[in-house]
Amino acid sequence: MSTKKYKLSRYAVPVEDGETLFLFNTLNGALLSFDDPSRIEQIKNIAETKLAEKDGDPELFEALKSADFIFSGDIDEFEIAKQIFIDTRGFVQSRLRIMIYTTNECNFRCNYCPQPHINKNMTPEILDNICSAIEKLLNSGRYKKLSISWFGGEPLLNLGIIERGMLRFGEICKEKGIELSSSITTNGYNLTQNTLRRLFDLGVLEYQITVDGTEKTHDRTRVLKNGAGTWRRIWNNLISMCTFEDKFIVHLRINVNSDNMSEAKELINMLNDNFDDRFQTQIQAVMNMGGVTHPDANFCTPDTARELLLDIYSYLGRVRPNEVGQLVRLLRPFGFVCNCADPHYFVVRTDGMICKCELEVDDEFNILGSGDSGALVLDYAKLSQYIAPVFAGECETCRMFPLCYGLSCPQKKAKKNACAIVGNFRLDEYTRTLGQIIRSLNLA
């Protein structure tokens, strides 16, 4: 009697960790762990032969099958991954996302920041034209949600534009029955109680604020124009935020390098002692993003960045278990897809020009058109280069394909540059770290 053969998923990632074996699926984010030596041996055999038999260990077989680690027949998983992309993009089409630069100026001079920080502000006239352009887009009836994010420079240096914009967007959305949400990326220095109250009342309820460890390390990198430290004032502003009962969220970003790892961990402990669940950590390695260079900046190499991030993810898993979500989201389908790959996401410069990449706003290649005439005039041929996934070439055989769809850096893709993550991202190491954290939480 013949035994039906099942093939191993091309997106299965087996990783050993001592006497444990983790099996991860990049197509759906499933994670299984095995400690039994006989089952580990079976998994290794399946990984080597790429085949699994239905007879033998029914319990193991069903576990693998239910998590889509094995398939029967002529199922083409690459086609499944492609369909997931199409279906998911269909759901997000109801939301229009706009990032607006209120100013290019900043009151900080962080030593790793790539921006030139020139004294250039968005004017009320340009903002009004942008509002009119967005209103025309909303007239299509396609969108049910409008998300506005405020950026810079330091966006609070042009607070009047934020107030003017939120009032206008509020009127537009109320008239059309569209849900409005808003966020801001700010250094937090000018986030006083009065300013917070104004922003909350306007509907700006999501914040990204950077604190690079404790006062000792933060004040070496995130300083005012005159070189003075900023940690104490930002920290006091954050403490003050806790007194508000509004339902806001703060993504407290910690940029890490070899100089501040111990202080970054100390900061995480301080978060536990001082803040509620509205404050969440966001970890980022200090990388050279081009632009302005600073001789005293300590940039991470890809290898160093990986080691530091894995270390601090492990620490977070131990001391702030609710923060494991950042690593989980990274290793889920679309976890590496960049913002600018979203066909309904646009960046507006202070002069009203429309871009895709929020970090390369001065790159002429990045400019798609203009909204300063009161209508969104775009180069759709160029836009298509940013949003089209890669369904050919090395992506067809890459086990990380469902994580990025070739869109980890759409600008690099559009410029025909090499993949941004292959060679730099060690999927096995991240899977091992995720498995250790999940097991410590008794979730796998």
Q: Which tokens in the block code for residue 284?
A: 């980022």
Task: Please state the domain extents for the chain.
Answer: 5-75, 86-347
CB 205 within 8 A of CB 247: yes
Residue 104 has pLDDT above 70, yes or no: yes
Residue 1 has pLDDT above 80, yes or no: no
Residue 234 has pLDDT above 60, yes or no: yes
- Choice among 42-51, 83-92, 193-202, 335-344 with the minimum mean pLDDT: 83-92
In the predicted model, what is the mean pLDDT of residues 30-43?
Answer: 95
- Choice among 2-6, 138-142, 184-188, 358-362 with the minimum mean pLDDT: 2-6
**Strand ranges in 211-340 using DSSP code E only, listed in sequence order:** 249-256, 279-285
Q: Do domains 5-75 and 86-347 have the same CATH topology?
A: no
Residue 2 has pLDDT above 50, yes or no: no
**Per-residue b or e along 341-355, where b marks 16 or more CB atoms closer than 10 Å to that residue's CB:** bbebbbbbbbebbbb
Distance CA 187, CA 229 (A): 13
- pLDDT bucket at 444, cuts 50 / 70 / 90: very low
CB 325 within 8 A of CB 393: no
pLDDT in tens, 382-438: 999 999 999 988 899 999 999 999 999 999 998 888 887 887 889 999 999 999 888
- pLDDT bucket at 91, cuts 50 / 70 / 90: low
Query: Going by DSSP bridges, is the β-strand pair 204-210/179-185 parallel, antiparallel, or unpaired?
Result: parallel
pLDDT in tens, 261-294: 999 999 999 998 999 999 999 999 999 887 766 7
Q: What's the pLDDT score for residue 189? A: 98
Phi, psi of 185 (to 5 degrees): -105, 110
Give the predicted TM-score (pTM) of the model: 0.92
Residues listed for the chain: 444
CATH 3.90.930 is held by the domain 5-75: yes
CATH 3.20.20.70 is held by the domain 86-347: yes
Q: What's the pLDDT score for residue 55? A: 75
- Mean of pLDDT over the chain: 91
Residue 350 has pLDDT above 80, yes or no: yes
pLDDT in tens, 285-335: 999 887 766 778 899 998 999 999 999 988 988 888 777 777 888 888 999
| Long-range contacts, 277-280 (Cβ 8 Å, 24+) | 277/322, 278/247, 278/248, 278/249, 278/250, 279/238, 279/249, 279/250, 279/252, 280/249, 280/250, 280/251, 280/252, 280/322, 280/323
pLDDT top residue among 103 and 375:
103
**Locus of tokens 């898993």:** 317
